[in-house]
Amino acid sequence: MSENLNSTWTADEMMTIAAARTLKDGNTCFVGIGIPSTAAILAKSMQAPNLFLIYESGTVNTNPQKLPLSIGDGELANHALTVVSMPEIFNYWLQSGRIDVGFLGAAQIDKFANINTTFIGQTYDSPKVRLPGAGGATEIAASCKEVAIIIRQTTRTFVKQVDFITSMGFGEGPGSRAKNRLRGGGPSRVITDLGILEPDPETLELTMTYLHPGVDIDQAIENTGWELKVSPNLKTTKAPEQSELEKVRALVSTSDK
């Protein structure tokens, strides 16, 4: 994120701002680390000052002043209303259905928004690239009322078939979530550096509904590993406002890294 000109922005800044805008004031949001966390913290300085942020480390209603480097960062604990145990987080907050939105990243995603954070290539027992695994994501994807996934869109991340389903989106399509007894509503949108995808109301297949300013549809198609469905009402995301850019840049500059 080296861009400093007032009139322009980087793709990551656009993605982060677009994700932050989707969060409603007063909602309860279960946050994954990385860009989802940046976007959620950003939303608190924009339209959602009363966003109730929960991280799996046990920090409840936290209001971090700088970007946490890890999910158990002291910054999250020091600015929390309270810090609770992990059984309370997973059993009482998440599993019981009290979370409005889960905010997740992923290494791979398919057209039904199933996500992989376990391994890439070959087999589970002998992977080409081993990733960290599930953490909290499987149950976040299962139990939140809705889930937003924030991921850069390339043919490496947007794949025809994920190598492993770590966390279920819509499985094989309509009926899969019910069959697997998942309580939450599943993915409501995928926010990328190119635009926004939402599940088709009938087929549940991810459909490109927004392109960010300056992105054309061919770019989105080329960066998708399956035949991308495009909404007939394809819209353009509102360009970042100056105040949004200032806020995201100020926030990113607080990172220790």
Partner 1 sequence: MVSKFLELPQAIESYVKSGDLIAMEGFTHLIPFAAGHEIIRQKVKDLTAVRLTPDLIYDQMIGAGCIKKLIFSWGGNPGVGSLHRFRDAYQNGWPNKIEIEEHTHAGLTNRYVAGASGIGFAVLKGYSGSDLGEHTKNVSEVKSPFSDEVLTAVAAINPDVTILHAQQADKAGNVMMWGITGVAKEAVFAASKVIVTVEEVVEKFSPKFSSMIIPSNLIDAISVVPNGAWPSYASDFYERDNNQYIAWDEISKEREIFSKWLDDEIYSKSTAGKK
User: Which residue, 127 or 214, is less far from partner 1 as judged by CB?
Assistant: 127
User: Which residue, 136 or 195, is less far from partner 1 as judged by CB?
Assistant: 136
Q: Which residues within the stretch 46-85 sit at the binding site for partner 1 (CB under 8 A)?
A: 56-59, 69-74, 76-78, 80, 82-85
Q: Which residues within the stretch 131-170 sit at the binding site for partner 1 (CB under 8 A)?
A: 131-139, 141-143, 164-168
56 included as an active-site residue: yes
Q: Which residues within the stretch 224-253 sit at the binding site for partner 1 (CB under 8 A)?
A: none
The site that binds partner 1 (CB under 8 A) totals a number of residues, namely 56
- State in angstroms the smallest separation of the CB of 71 from partner 1: 7
Q: Which structure tokens are listed for 162? A: 């994920």
From residue 27, alpha-carbon distances to 2, 61, 88, 123, 148 in Å are 32, 11, 19, 39, 13
User: Which residue, 99 or 211, is less far from partner 1 as judged by CB?
Assistant: 99
Give the strand order in the sheet containing 206-211.
80-83, 59-62, 52-55, 28-31, 101-104, 146-150, 187-191, 195-199, 206-211, 229-236
Determine if 178 is a binding residue for partner 1 (CB under 8 A).
Answer: no
Determine if 118 is a binding residue for partner 1 (CB under 8 A).
Answer: yes
Bridge partner residues of 62 (DSSP) = 80
Q: What single-letter DSSP state applies at residue 92?
A: I
C-alpha to C-alpha distance for 189 and 147, rounded to whole angstroms = 7
Out of 14, 159, 182, 208, the only residue in the binding site for partner 1 (CB under 8 A) is: 182
Q: Can you list the alpha helix ranges (DSSP code H) found in 102-162? A: 137-143
Residue positions annotated with a catalytic role: 56
